[in-house]
Amino acid sequence: MRFLRLIFIVLLAIILVAVALANRDIVTLSAFPANFGQYLGGRWSVDLPLFLVIFLAFAVGMLAGLVWEWLRESHIRREARLHAGRAAKLESEVGHLRDRHAAPKDEVLAILERPKNAPPAVPAAPTAPASGTTLPARS
């Protein structure tokens, strides 16, 4: 990929040098049509090589397109920031809820959700039967 990029840059440089050499004539670039600049005072024209005018026009066009797209997509960037903030808030809330509800409250769920390699839970100490029951006491 780096080699292809290098080939592209070399070809672009050759083309730009060829355009510059073919368009070395001096041209007058005026800011206003005809002699309108004489009413404003000063000199409103400049003499430049034609290739420089071509390259400057290309650069100004690229810059104008960049600014235009940046302004056009500003609402998309604003929405993305808003959604990123909401996503971060929701992820924080989910993490908090996971921590808060990590331990099951039901003994059956605790047994079912216990990892297979975890030691068995220690059974609770036997309690005396409630008075009035007919079940024998545990031995």
- The domain in which residue 98 lies consists of 76-112
At 90 the pLDDT is 95
Q: Per the domain annotation, does 123 fall within a domain? A: no
53 in the same domain as 36: yes
Number of domains in the chain: 2
Across residues 26-43, what is the average pLDDT? Answer: 79
Cα torsion through 105, 109, 114, 120, rounded to 10 = 90
| CB-CB contact of 18 with 54 (8 Å) | no
Instruction: Please count the residues of the chain.
Output: 139
Q: Per the domain annotation, does 66 fall within a domain? A: yes
Q: What is the rounded distance in angstroms from the CA atom of residue 96 to the CA atom of residue 90? A: 10
Helix (H, G, I), strand (E, B) or coil at 27: strand
68 in the same domain as 81: no
67 in the same domain as 37: yes
Q: For 38-68, what is each residue's pLDDT tens digit?
A: 777 777 888 999 999 999 999 999 999 999 9
Q: Per the domain annotation, does 105 fall within a domain? A: yes
